[in-house]
């Protein structure tokens, strides 16, 4: 028996886990790590199933090559050779413009995704870069980029100190939180109330999170921007603003808010005017307060405007960048990022002209870019840790269009709805065979914190996922040789920049000496060590007493608390004015569209999504301990709608994009006129035995790739117009 302590890689809560392994390295128990200073022993059913996940017999353990409709196993050399041949053929025939990359959600959790995802993109040399970000939080990046100058400078609610939390479109009791890294999110919410604070939840559904709150406000899907503008309007009208940071554009935002009186916002949002007024007053009066908006507010028609207004309110109530308000984390690996203010739409997608953001094109444009002939038509695609057939709007269309590509490579654990279209599948090792560091998620943590998990189980003769991606990057770029050279190049470039930067803790030092002192058994570890040392707590930071390094993390396997969030303004701003931009022109321009929507007639029934505690987007439905019970693909619907529409057990749901038959789950917890279907299901044709037995349907048959948030190109999953009618025959 051995005991290992690791970070759970399965969601954004980054819980510490304590696992015991038997002599065959099989997991015999998984518990929350009580000595982790951040998660303090918290664990959820998914983390507890980590061992089951690694033992899933349907996991791929060797590369797979498809020959017609048949799959065969292959050696790693064979598989990489096949990738080189396939990619080069596409490049020769159609050029690099015809290549594409799709990076899925787990890239935000893996070391490989953080350190090598960008290398694959650069190696391909194409603008057809897509990721789950434009199905998720791109509105937050764009709004933050325009307000603060950097799309990764994202303010998170200071959960542990706030007196008042207004939370819109998030359900952390199921999701465990997002763009707000907080293990035991449920406990942290309960603590707000215990210390006499107030929690208000805005959601079209009375969720488990809403049930925990002091107040739940039903809102019409897709209307958060109106509600938030209503609050801004009241703050100005009643002279409740207390701006405590340097801002640009105060007069412009005041002016923009004029049409959005509570009375104007009420019919559109379904929230009574007096409630909007009261929430504005409460936010202004609370000793500290934070507004936090997540998926429900992002994946909507006015996602970017809503995300902007969240932080506008945080500024206007004096809560941006102060304890108990909305604050900017300072992660241990933070290195200087950009020198120029953020811009979007530096290029646009070929077919529909959708804007680039963060160097990516909207994933909602992927299918049309594959289908539409002409120069730049996608002919070769790599997917890494993604299942876009189930996660993209109008996924059914992508399912068809992927059959058209000449060559496809997938880096994935499973043969699934997406990877079945690949020519070559390259499987990453088990989670316990992988090292883990949350490069992305610790930048959104509600406390500054760091933890590293080296592999717990030896890799054997399998490559790590970092090696797989580094190799893909080199093949794509047409480079031969050792992947270690790739890491050395990055280390060299980073160190050169650091020694040349005035004010850096290593200014003027010798790059060779610094390189020689780095520790690590892999290129990824060397790079992590470098980032930790150069970062704000590192031994090369120039800060007295700072001594963070990889070795220190290895010596502290339960992780290290780096203290509560601290004010970061104005140092973290990269805006042209050097101030917080309250009224960026692009956002003001979209307000005109928003205004027009105030009086538009609304569809009778709209679809929203939901997340389920024992599920993880599309890919944890093959673990028997997690499926079944409440974890089912059903359509939540208000009983009044069931009666009004004369529905039975199942119903036909139709949208502009497609149609489905789904089992109904009538419940008072959802607003009349709103139905909810979880995404990630639809495993009917799956070769994964458990998932196929709990197939469900693909919610993204109904969502529409034709509609995106205008500013970010983000997919719209919430507020999709549908009709629901009686299903006559059910097979
Ligand atoms: N209707 C609707 N659709 C949605 C959403 C919604 O709310 N409603 N939410 C959207 C959001 S927020 C997101 S993030 C996307 C997610 O969209 P995707 O990222 O496309 O989908 P996932 O289901 O997360 O797929 C993860 C894939 O990675 C594989 N995998 C798991 N771990 C690893 C690993 O360590 N390495 C590798 N290489 N592969 C791994 C899994 O087998 C799976 O195939 O879905 C979006 N789609
Ligand atoms: N167990 C589990 N955890 C997960 C995931 C999972 O699939 N399962 N997925 C992970 C991923 S990829 C992400 S991005 C995060 C997301 O984390 P969350 O943002 O917390 O996502 P959800 O749980 O879907 O909660 C979104 C809520 O928004 C509500 N909503 C829908 N439309 C609207 C609207 O127009 N306005 C408002 N105000 N509310 C609306 C929905 O009813 C729902 O309760 O969760 C992550 N964690
Ligand atoms: S909450 Fe998230 S990080 Fe924590 S154990 Fe569950 S899946 Fe893992
Ligand atoms: Mo997500």
Residue 543's pLDDT is 95
Q: Take atom 46 of ligand 2 and give the residue whose Cα is closest.
A: 175
Q: How many angstroms from the chain centroid is the CA of residue 619? A: 15
Helix locations, 521-572, DSSP H? 523-534, 550-555
Instruction: Give the domain 64-134+356-426 fold.
Output: Rossmann fold (3.40.50)
- The answer to whether the CB of 626 is under 6 A from ligand 3 is no
Task: For the beta carbon of residue 686, count every other beta carbon within 10 angstroms.
Answer: 21
- The answer to whether the CB of 202 is under 6 A from ligand 2 is yes
- The answer to whether the CB of 294 is under 6 A from ligand 2 is yes
Residue 688's pLDDT is 92
Q: Please, what's the b/e burial string for 535-551 (b: 16 or more CB within 10 A of its CB; e: otherwise)?
A: bbbbbbbeeeebebbbe
The domain over range 138-328+571-594 is classified in CATH as 3.40.228.10: yes
Q: Could you give the CA distance from residue 191 to residue 337 in angstroms, rounded to a whole number?
A: 35
What are the residue boundaries of the structural domains of the chain, listed by start?
A: 64-134+356-426, 138-328+571-594, 603-727
Structure tokens at 232: 């801004």
pLDDT for 441-472, tens place per residue? 999 999 999 999 999 999 999 999 999 999 99
Is the pLDDT at 730 greater than 60, yes or no?
no
Q: Is the preceding omega at residue 570 within 30 degrees of 0, hence cis? A: yes
Specify the DSSP class assigned to residue 727.
Answer: -
Q: What is the 3-state secondary structure (H, E, C) of 646-682?
A: CCCCEEEEECCCCEEEEEEEECCCECCCEEECCCCCC
Contact 141, 133 (CB under 8 A): yes
Residues surrounding ion ligand 4 at CB below 5 Å: 136
Q: Could you give the CA distance from residue 290 to residue 304 in angstroms, rounded to a whole number?
A: 18
Ramachandran assignment for 68, one of left (phi > 0), alpha (psi -120 to 50 degrees), beta (any other): left
Q: Could you give the CA distance from residue 644 to residue 413 in angstroms, rounded to a whole number?
A: 45
Contact 709, 301 (CB under 8 A): yes
Residue 722's pLDDT is 98
pLDDT for 397-410, tens place per residue? 999 999 999 999 99
Q: Could you give the CA distance from residue 29 to residue 48 in angstroms, rounded to a whole number?
A: 8
Rounded to an integer, the average pLDDT of 366-370 is 98
Instruction: Give the domain 603-727 fold.
Output: Barwin-like endoglucanases (2.40.40)
**What percent of the chain is modeled with pLDDT above 90?**
96
Q: Could you give the CA distance from residue 618 to residue 616 in angstroms, rounded to a whole number?
A: 6
pLDDT for 177-217, tens place per residue? 999 999 999 999 999 999 999 999 999 999 999 999 999 99
Name the band, by pLDDT with cuts 50, 70 and 90, for residue 480.
confident
pLDDT for 645-702, tens place per residue? 999 999 999 999 999 999 999 999 999 999 999 999 999 889 999 999 999 999 999 9
Name the band, by pLDDT with cuts 50, 70 and 90, for residue 334.
confident
Give the alpha-carbon dihedral of 565, 569, 573, 579, to 10 degrees. 150
Contact 709, 137 (CB under 8 A): no
Query: Distance from the CA of 301 to the center of ligand 2, in angstroms?
Result: 16
Specify the DSSP class assigned to residue 225.
Answer: H
What's the pTM?
Answer: 0.98
- The answer to whether the CB of 104 is under 6 A from ligand 1 is yes
Contact 667, 675 (CB under 8 A): no
Pocket test for ligand 1, best of 59, 364, 387, 662 (most atoms within 8 A of CB): 387
Query: Distance from the CA of 143 to the center of ligand 2, in angstroms?
Result: 19
Burial bucket for residue 323 (CB in 10 Å: 0-12, 13-18, 19+): middle
Is the pLDDT at 731 greater than 80, yes or no?
no
Is the pLDDT at 496 greater than 90, yes or no?
yes
Residue 481's pLDDT is 81
Query: Distance from the CA of 503 to the center of ligand 2, in angstroms?
Result: 42
pLDDT for 92-108, tens place per residue? 999 999 999 999 999 99
- The answer to whether the CB of 176 is under 6 A from ligand 3 is yes
Query: Distance from the CA of 138 to the center of ligand 2, in angstroms?
Result: 15
Going by DSSP bridges, is the β-strand pair 156-157/424-426 parallel, antiparallel, or unpaired?
A: unpaired
Rounded to an integer, the average pLDDT of 17-33 is 96
Residue 607's pLDDT is 98
Contact 179, 170 (CB under 8 A): no
Residue 152's pLDDT is 96
Helix 523-534 vs helix 111-124: angle between axes, to the nearest 10 degrees?
Answer: 100
Is the pLDDT at 338 greater than 80, yes or no?
no
**What percent of the chain is modeled with pLDDT above 70?**
100
- The answer to whether the CB of 622 is under 6 A from ligand 2 is no
Residue 729's pLDDT is 60
pLDDT for 422-432, tens place per residue? 999 999 999 99
Contact 64, 75 (CB under 8 A): no
Rounded to an integer, the average pLDDT of 508-526 is 98
Rounded to an integer, the average pLDDT of 501-512 is 94
Q: What angle do CA 449, 453, 458 make, to 5 degrees?
A: 175
Pick the closest to residue 413 from 382, 453, 386, 445 (CA basis).
386
């Amino acid at each position: 028996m051995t005991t290992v302590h690791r970070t759970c890689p399965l969601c954004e809560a980054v819980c510490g886990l304590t696992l015991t392994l038997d002599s065959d390295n099989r997991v015999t128990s998984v518990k929350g790590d009580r000595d982790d200073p951040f998660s303090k022993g918290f664990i959820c059913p998914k983390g507890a199933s980590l061992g089951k996940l690694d033992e899933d017999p349907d996991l791929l353990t060797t590369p797979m090559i498809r020959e017609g409709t048949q799959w065969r196993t292959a050696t790693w050399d064979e598989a990489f050779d096949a990738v080189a041949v396939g990619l080069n053929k596409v490049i020769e025939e159609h050029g690099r413009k015809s290549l594409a990359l799709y990076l899925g959600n787990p890239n935000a959790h893996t070391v490989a995704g953080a350190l090598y995802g960008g290398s694959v993109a650069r190696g391909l040399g194409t603008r057809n870069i897509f990721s789950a970000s434009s199905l998720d939080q791109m509105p937050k990046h764009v709004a933050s980029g325009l307000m603060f100058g950097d799309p990764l400078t994202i303010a998170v609610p200071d959960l542990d100190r706030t007196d008042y939390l207004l939370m819109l479109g998030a359900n952390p009791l199921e999701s465990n939180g997002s763009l707000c890294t907080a293990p035991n999110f449920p406990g942290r919410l309960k603590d707000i109330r215990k210390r006499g604070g107030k929690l208000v939840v805005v959601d079209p559904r009375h969720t488990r999170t809403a049930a925990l709150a002091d107040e739940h406000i039903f809102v019409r899907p897709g209307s958060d921007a109106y509600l938030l503008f209503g609050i801004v309007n009241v703050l100005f009208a009643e002279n409740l603003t207390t701006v405590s940071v340097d801002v640009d554009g105060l007069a412009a935002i005041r002016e923009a808010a004029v049409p959005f009186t509570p009375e104007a916002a009420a019919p559109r949002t379904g929230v009574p005017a007096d409630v909007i007024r009261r929430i504005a007053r409460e936010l202004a009066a609370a000793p500290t307060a934070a507004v936090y908006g997540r998926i429900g507010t992002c994946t909507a028609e006015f996602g970017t405007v809503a995300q902007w207004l969240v932080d506008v309110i945080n500024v206007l109530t004096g809560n941006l960048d102060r304890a108990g308000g909305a604050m900017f984390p300072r992660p241990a690996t933070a290195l200087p990022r950009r020198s120029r203010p953020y811009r979007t739409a530096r290029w646009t997608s070929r077919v529909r002209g959708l804007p680039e953001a963060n160097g990516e094109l909207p994933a909602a444009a992927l299918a049309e870019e594959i289908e539409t002939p002409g120069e730049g038509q996608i002919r070769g695609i790599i997917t890494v840790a993604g299942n876009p057939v189930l996660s993209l709007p109008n996924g059914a269309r992508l399912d068809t269009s992927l059959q058209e590509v000449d060559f496809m490579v997938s880096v994935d654990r499973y043969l699934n709805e997406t990877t079945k279209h690949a020519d070559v599948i390259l499987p990453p090792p088990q989670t316990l065979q992988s090292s883990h560091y949350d490069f992305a998620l610790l930048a959104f943590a509600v406390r500054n914190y760091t933890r590293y998990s080296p592999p717990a189980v030896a890799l054997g003769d399998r490559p790590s996922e970092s090696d797989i991606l580094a190799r893909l990057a080199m093949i794509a770029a047409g480079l031969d040789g050792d992947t270690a050279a790739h890491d050395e190049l990055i280390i060299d470039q980073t160190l050169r920049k650091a020694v040349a930067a005035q004010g850096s803790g290593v200014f003027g030092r010798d790059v060779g000496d610094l390189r020689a002192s780095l520790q690590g058994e892999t290129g990824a570890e060397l790079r992590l060590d470098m980032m930790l040392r150069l970062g704000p707590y590192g031994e090369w930071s120039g800060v007295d007493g700072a001594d963070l390094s990889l070795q220190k993390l290895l010596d502290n396997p339960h992780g290290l608390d780096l203290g509560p969030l601290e004010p970061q303004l104005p140092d973290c701003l990269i805006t042209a004015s050097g101030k917080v931009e309250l009224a960026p022109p692009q956002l003001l321009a979209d307000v005109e569209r928003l205004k027009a929507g105030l009086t538009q007639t609304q569809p009778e029934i709209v679809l929203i999504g939901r997340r389920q505690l024992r599920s993880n987007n599309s890919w944890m439905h093959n673990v028997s301990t997690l499926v079944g019970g409440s974890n089912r693909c059903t359509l939540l619907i208000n009983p009044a709608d069931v009666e009004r529409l004369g529905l039975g057990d199942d119903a036909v749901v139709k949208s502009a994009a497609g149609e489905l038959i789904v089992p109904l789950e009538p419940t008072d917890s959802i607003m009349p006129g709103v139905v909810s279907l979880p995404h990630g299901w639809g495993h009917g044709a799956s070769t994964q035995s458990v998932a196929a037995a709990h197939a469900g349907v693909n919610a993204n048959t109904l969502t529409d790739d034709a509609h995106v948030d205008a500013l970010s190109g983000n997919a719209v999953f919430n507020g999709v117009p549908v009709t629901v009618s009686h299903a006559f025959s059910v097979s």
